[in-house]
Amino acid sequence: MKKLLIVALALGAAGLAHAQTSSPSVSLGLRAWHTQWDTFSYTLDQNGDSVVIQVPAEDKLVFLPVLSMRWGNFTGSLSLYPSTEHEMLGGRRDKRKEFDFNLGYAVTSAVALTLGYKKVEQRGSLLYALDGPVAGISGTAPFGQGWSLYGSFGMGWMKSTGGSDVKFDADYRLSEVGAAYSIPTGGFIKAVTLTAGYRTQVLTSKEALPGQDGRDLTQGFTFGALASF
């Protein structure tokens, strides 16, 4: 099924650990992602032919704001990878930004299915911009005293936008596993949830050169805090 993918993005996954409620709740948080980014570029081989190569960036800590909502079994989330400059191998500097929007339904107290939209922009010498539908599944496993494990898997099929300087469609994959700790606080802020996990995101660009796909891999540890109102 081509329209399946992504998890209640970011800290939204941890929010599934809370008990379901008939009244709406809103959560606002920030997550830090220690990104290890490796993308593709081009060079000439010994025969003078163009080939796809991988170009790594310096590791960088990126802060992603997250907004999520829940009403009964229904969930929604917004997440932003703000425009960030990354230093690439060789000294060039590329900018990158992402936007995620997801709606979900909790089929059980521990499992949710989601549908959403993702947009990615990367700017080096050229602008590479993609967007498309995403869908997926996430789950939690509480084990007492506010602690829980969470995991998520998603996929998407993205197309280059009209403003993109290069025109490659791409498959999108996301996975994340980690632990969450929820602290009831009472009052205006009902609870604070802390998370720690490992996140991997892959874009596989089709036919970056004839017969050669381009891979864009971002992975690293994530740490977050989410306040529920």
Q: In angstroms, rounded to a whole number, what is the distance separating the alpha carbons of residues 165 and 227?
A: 40
From the centroid of its chain, how far is CA 60? 16
The mean predicted confidence, pLDDT, of the chain is 88
Could you tell me the two tokens for 23? Answer: 């009244």
Say if 7 falls within a structural domain: no
Say if 212 falls within a structural domain: yes
pLDDT on residue 126 = 87
Task: Tell which wins on pLDDT, 147 or 92.
Answer: 147
pLDDT tens-digit profile of 218-228? 999 999 999 99
Q: Quickly state the pLDDT bin for 82 (edges 50, 70, 90).
A: very high
Once rounded to an integer, what is the mean pLDDT over residues 68-89? Answer: 95
Say if 156 falls within a structural domain: yes
Once rounded to an integer, what is the mean pLDDT over residues 86-111? Answer: 93
Once rounded to an integer, what is the mean pLDDT over residues 194-199? Answer: 98
Specify the number of domains making up the chain: 1
Give SS3 for 15.
helix
Say if 213 falls within a structural domain: yes
Say if 46 falls within a structural domain: no
Strand partners, 143: none
Say if 44 falls within a structural domain: no
Q: With 70 as the cut, is the pLDDT of residue 108 above it?
A: yes
pLDDT on residue 43 = 83
pLDDT tens-digit profile of 2-26? 333 333 333 333 343 343 446 889 9
Q: With 80 as the cut, is the pLDDT of residue 63 above it?
A: yes
pLDDT on residue 22 = 63
Say if 83 falls within a structural domain: yes
CA distances from 108 to 14, 79, 137 (A): 15, 24, 12
- Find the Cα–Cα–Cα–Cα dihedral 38, 41, 45, 49, rounded to 10°: 150
Range of the domain at 117: 12-38+54-228
- Are the C-beta atoms of residues 6 and 175 closer than 8 Å to each other? no
CB atoms within 10 A of CB 13: 30
Residue owning tokens 């005293």: 145
pLDDT on residue 44 = 80
Report which residue type is found at 219: Q
Share of the chain above pLDDT 70, in %: 90
User: What is the domain-level CATH number for residue 28?
Assistant: 2.40.128.100
Say if 5 falls within a structural domain: no
Once rounded to an integer, what is the mean pLDDT over residues 166-174? Answer: 93
pLDDT tens-digit profile of 114-158? 999 999 999 988 899 999 999 999 999 998 999 999 999 999 999
CB atoms within 10 A of CB 24: 11
pLDDT on residue 53 = 86
Residue owning tokens 């089929």: 107
Q: What's the pTM value of the predicted model, to 2 decimals?
A: 0.86
